[in-house]
Amino acid sequence: MFKINDNYLKLPGSYLFSNIGKKVNAFTSANPDKKIIRLGIGDVTLPLAPKVIDTLHSAVDEMGSAASFKGYAPDLGYEFLRQAIATNDYKARGVEIALDEIFISDGAKSDSGNIGDIFAVDNKIAVCDPVYPVYVDTNVMAGRTGEYNVETERWSNVIYMPCTEATGFAPELPSQTPDIIYLCFPNNPTGATLNKAELQKWVDYALKVGAVIVYDAAYEAYISEEDVPHTIYECEGAKECSIEIRSFSKNAGFTGTRLGFTVIPKELKSGDTMLNSLWARRHGTKFNGAPYIIQKAGEAIYTEEGKAQTRQQVEYYMNNAKIIRDGLAAAGYSVSGGVNAPYIWLKTPDKMTSWEFFDYLLNEANVVGTPGSGFGPSGEGYFRLTAFGTYENTLEAMERIKAL
C-alpha cells in the first residue's frame, strides 16, 4: 500500500496567495459591478520590454529552421546567458563568478523551494518573521520544521527572527544556532534592506557557526540607496557560506515567461563536498532547462537597449511605490518600505488584525492587498501593498484609501 508524504498534511491552509485569490474571486462573484484594484500579489502589469519582444520573435524563428533549431538546453543553461549574468550582475560589481557557478532555472520561487533537496533533513532553518512563505512551506514538505503550534503560529523546529518596528524590520542574529539561514533583501514583504556592514555581519556569523545563507536577491533591481549591496558576494567571505538566488520576474517582468538563476560558488563546501556539485547533480537530474527562447529573452535584458528599457520599468513601479508611501503617510498611516523595494509595509489602523484590514479594504475601497500575518506571526497588525499595479490604478487606489 502506498504512503503519502504526510508532511504535507501538517501545512496549515493553502498557499497564501491562493487563499487571497479565492477570497477575491468570491467578492467579485458577489459584486460583479465593483472595480477591484489588485495590489496584493507582487505580479507585474507592464508588458515585456520591446527589446525582449523582438528577441523572443527572432528566437521563435530560429526554432522554425533546421539550421538553428534547439532541443534540450545545456544542463546549467546556455553559456550566452550565464556569461551575460557573470559580466553584468557580478563582474560589474567587482565580483568574480565563474560560468559553472551559475545555474539557469525557471525562477526564484522554484529554486528557493528546491534548494532544500541538497540539505539533510535534520538541518535547523532560521527565517525572518515575517517571511516569504515558500521558504517555510517547502521545509515543512521536507519534514524539517517539526510540529505546528496553532496558538503561536510557529513550527517547533524553526528559528524565527522577528523583524519588527523596533528592529527597523531587519532580523537580529539568533540566539539559537541555525544550519541554514534564509535571507531576502531587499525584503519581501517589508521592503526593508540591509546595508553592506549589516549584511557582512550575517556573513561573518554564518562563517563562525558553520551555517549556509540562502540569499534571495529577487528585488535587487529596486535598490536605490548607495550603501545597499546588490549581491551578497560583495561581502568578504560570502562565497564560502552563501547561495544567491535571482529572478527575472521583478526586474524585467518575466513573471509569466519564467526565468531565474542560482549561484553556488565552488568555495561553498560541507567537508570536502562542494554544494555546487550537489546542485549540478540535482539540476541535471530533475530539471530540463528553461526554454531557449526565454533564455535568449533573458540575455536581451543585458544589452544596452534592454537595460535602458527594463530600468524604465523599474522606475515606473518605484514611482508607484512613492505614490503609495506618500498617499498612505498623508492619510495618517505608519509606512515603511517602498524605497529599495516594490513593497510598502503599513501598520493597520485602529488595532485591526491584518485579515480584518484585508476585508475592510476589499469591502470599502475594493482594493486588494496582502495581510501581514500571512507572512508570519510578527506580520500581524501589518499589511503589504505592491507597487506593481498600473500608475492609474495605483493613483485611484490611493484616492479610495484616503477617502475611507
Kindly list the residues in this chain that would bind ligand MLT in the complex (CB under 6 A).
Answer: 41-43, 109, 132, 188
User: For residues 331-349, b (16+ Cβ closer than 10 Å) or e, as one string?
Assistant: eebebbbbbbbbbbbbbbe
Smallest separation, CB 305 to ligand MLT (Å)? 26
- In the complex with ligand MLT, which residue's Cβ is closer, 124 or 384? 384
Least distance (Å) between residue 134 CB and ligand MLT: 7
Interior/surface letters 129-157, b for 16+ CB within 10 angstroms, e for the rest: bbbbbbbbbbbbbbebbeebeeeebbbee
Q: Which CB, 109 or 296, lies closer to ligand MLT?
A: 109
d(CA 89, CA 154): 36
Closest contact distance (angstroms) between CB of 102 and ligand MLT is 20
**Residue 130 or 265 with smaller CB distance to ligand MLT:** 130
Q: Which of 38, 39, 79, 71 minimizes the C-alpha distance to 387?
A: 39
- Cβ 133 to ligand MLT shortest distance, Å: 8
**Nearest residue relative to ligand MLT (C-beta):** 42
Q: Which of 376, 357, 379 is nearest to 368 (CA)?
A: 357
Q: Which is nearer to ligand MLT, 76 or 259 (CB)?
A: 259
**Cell numbers linked to 327:** 498617499
**Contacts (Cβ under 8 Å, ≥6 apart) of 280:** 75, 76, 100, 103
Minimal distance, residue 159 CB to ligand MLT, in Å: 22
Q: Which is nearer to ligand MLT, 13 or 271 (CB)?
A: 13
Three-state DSSP at 369 gives coil
Q: How far is the CB of 316 from ligand MLT (least distance, A)?
A: 17
CB 142 within 8 A of CB 121: yes
CB closer to ligand MLT out of 41 and 140: 41
